[in-house]
Amino acid sequence: MRSKQEKRIVSPALLLNLLACCCAIAVVTSTASSALRVSSTLHTQQSTTQPSAPAQTKPLPAPARWRGLIGEYGPDNAILLILEKDGKLCALFKHVNFEPLDEVSKNVFRFPAQGTRAGQQLIFTRDARGRATQVEVETVVRQRRQIEPESGNQLRVKPLRPVVELMKEAMAAQPPPEKGDFRQADLVELIKLDPTIKLEIRYATTNNFLGTIFYSEARAFMQRPAAEAVVRVNRKLRAQGYLLLIHDAYRPWYVTKVFWDATPDDKKVFVADPSKGSRHNRGCAVDLTLYDLKTKKPVEMVSTYDETTARAYPDYPGGTSLQRWYRKLLRDAMEAEGFTVYEAEWWHFDYKDWQKYRIGNETFDQIGSR
C-alpha cells in the first residue's frame, strides 16, 4: 500500500522507524497491534536469528503434513515460531534460539538430544482442516497466533466513511505543492514494453484491503527508466522459468488520499500520508511477485500480498525454505536493476530515482490518451 518516500504507504510508519508503506493493507483481527509489535521484533533481530539465506539450488517443497503446523504460537513476549528449513521442521524461540526437530509422529516432534531442551517434545493439536491450533511444550500450551488470513486471501479494513464519498472528495482535491527541479513525467505502460509481464491489479478489483474498485482499468504504468528496469528483470527471470506478476505500480494521488481518509487511526501506519504523497504516486514504485511458467500460477511466498503482519517483512525467518527462496530470487533480481525493497513488504520495490519525479494525479485513461 504505502510508499517509501515518506517513508511510505501501506504498511507504515510501522513500528520503530518504519514510516509508512506503499500498498494498501488490512487487518481485522483483534491481534493486529500485537502482530505489528512482533514484526518490529523480527525486523530488528533478523540478522542473528533468521535461518541462513536460501541456497542457490531451488529447495523442495515442505512436506504437506507439516504445512498446517508452520506458524507462530504464544504471547508477544514468548513467541514460538515453527518453520521448515532444509527438509526439517524447526523451532525458533523468541526469535533467538533456533533448533531443528525430530519427527516422532504426525503431531509430535522432539528437540535434538544435544541442546538446552534435549528430550522435550512438542505436541500439536489440529483442527478438522489439519491446521494446528496450539502446541504444548513441557506442559506449557501456546495458542496459535492468528496473524495470517486463514483463507489465504486478502485481509480487510472497515472504512471510516463510505468509500464512494471519500472518492468524490479526493478527486476534487489537489496534491500538495512541491518545490524543486523535477524530471518531466514519462509514464509508460509495462505490458507495452514487454507483453509477457503478467498483471493482477488488485485495485481494479474488489480483492483489496477496502473491498472497493479504485482503478477503472487493470493497467500498470511507471516512469520510463523504472519501467525499462522492470522489463530487464522480467527477461532475466524468464530464462529461469518465471515472469513478473504486477499487483500495482503508478497510483494517482487521489487514490492515496482515499486510502488515508478511509483507514482508522490505529491502522494509519499501513497507508501513505497524502500530504507527503508516495513513491507509487511518483511512478517509481511497484508491487509484484513471481509467476511460475511451469505451473501457470503465482508462486507461494511467505505471506500474502498486502498483508499487515510480521510475515510481510522481507527478512521474516518463518515459512518454508522454498517460500524464502522465491522471495530472495525476486529481491536479488530487482536489486540488481536499481530497486530497493521496502523494509516491511517483500513485494514493494522503489526505483532509485524516485525523488526526481513529482507526485502525479493523472488517471489511467488520461495517461493512455497522450
Q: What is the pLDDT of residues 258-272, one digit of tens each?
A: 999 999 888 787 788
Q: Across 15-29, 103-117, 294-308, 325-339, which has the greatest mean pLDDT?
A: 325-339
CB atoms under 10 Å from CB of 46, counted, come to: 15
Has residue 335 got a pLDDT over 90? yes
Q: Across 44-48, 146-150, 187-191, which has the greatest mean pLDDT?
A: 187-191
CA distance 327 to 119: 34
What percent of the chain is modeled with pLDDT above 70?
Answer: 82
pLDDT of amino acid 270:
73
pTM of the model: 0.84
**Interval 288-292 mean pLDDT:** 98
The overall average pLDDT reported for the chain is: 85
Has residue 51 got a pLDDT over 70? no
**Interval 179-204 mean pLDDT:** 95
Local confidence band at 369 (pLDDT 50, 70, 90 cut-offs): low
Closest to 211 (Cα-Cα) out of 163, 250, 258, 152: 163
pLDDT of amino acid 61:
96
Local confidence band at 153 (pLDDT 50, 70, 90 cut-offs): low
pLDDT tens-digit map of 338-353: 999 998 899 999 999 9
pLDDT of amino acid 155:
66
pLDDT tens-digit map of 130-141: 999 999 999 999
pLDDT of amino acid 44:
41
**Interval 169-192 mean pLDDT:** 94
pLDDT of amino acid 173:
96
